[in-house]
Amino acid sequence: MIRLNALNPDQASGKAKELFTAINGKLGMVPNMMRTMGNSPALLGGYLNFSGSLGEGTLGAKLGTLIALTVAEANQCQYCASAHTFIGKNLNGLDDARIESARTLGKIDPKTDAALTFAHKLVEKRGHVSDTDVNAVLAAGFTQGEVGEIVGHVALNTFTNYFNNTANTEVDFPKVELLEAAAV
């Protein structure tokens, strides 16, 4: 049962309407997560700003999507697992094998594997990673700035996971079934 309602973009007003218009112009639609966040334009604006800033980072859209899939599985968020599977396939050109590997922590390539393992450890350890965890991702070839961006992607996706799990947002992407037990 949906706990927080998604706003109808046609009936929104003020800042929410402005944000919905911008989102629709970019995506051709306003996804249910954003429609639900629109109940607080401050929340939606913060999400869009953080997401936009990370999108300009050095990790790239493909790795960002793979991190989002890893985090969605760790936090058991069906909305985000479904959305990022769709985005990965249709916008970022990821194949089914890479998407599945991100969701299960399977093998992709050593550098990507290190980033996804680190992302999963961040969720699992609630940010209290060890020197060994940080050194492993640095040794895989990530800069200190990129390690910071990985943390940022995990934080952003944990936020959306928690939001969607709280709201029980209606999935408006092709649904995927979650694969692993919650990280907690």
Annotated domain spans of the chain: 14-55, 60-167
Q: State how far the Cα of 168 lies from the Cα of 100, in Å rounded to an integer.
A: 24
pLDDT in tens, 68-109: 999 999 999 999 999 999 999 999 999 999 999 999 999 999
Count of CB atoms situated within 10 Å of the CB of 84: 31
pLDDT of the residue at 1: 92
- Give the DSSP per-residue string, 1-48: --SSPPPPTTT--HHHHHHHHHHHHHHSS--HHHHHHTTSHHHHHHHH
Q: Using alpha carbons, select from 153, 156, 155, 84 the residue that is nearest to residue 126.
A: 155
Average pLDDT for the chain: 96
pTM of the model: 0.95
Answer yes or no: are the C-beta atoms of 6 and 170 closer than 8 Å. Answer: yes
Report whether pLDDT(184) > 80: no
pLDDT in tens, 41-58: 999 999 999 999 999 999
CATH annotation of 60-167: 1.20.1290.10
